[in-house]
Amino acid sequence: MKKLNSIGNVKANGKESDKIVLQIIDMSDKMLYNEFKAREQFITLINAAVSHELRNPLNSLIGQIESMMGFLKNLK
């Protein structure tokens, strides 16, 4: 990312002229950090979704099995 600043009416070689100051800032570390954080948040979201989608059907199956076992015990 670059930033431009203008300095007006600067004397150079006995003449008044406008000068431009160019500042270059290295943003690669910040961009890399933001990319890493986004990846971490995405992985957390995926893990939460997968855990939820697996847990609910498994809990349902466990409940049905326990219910059937209770029913089968009553039949004997």
> Tens digit of pLDDT per residue, the chain (76 long)?
555 555 555 566 666 666 777 888 888 999 999 999 999 999 999 988 888 777 778 888 888 898 888 888 887 6
Q: d(Cα 34, Cα 5) in Å, to the nearest integer?
A: 27
The total domain count for the chain is 1
Domain encompassing residue 71 = 2-75
Q: What is the pTM of this model?
A: 0.45
List Cβ neighbours of 44 (8 Å cut-off, separation of 6 or more): none
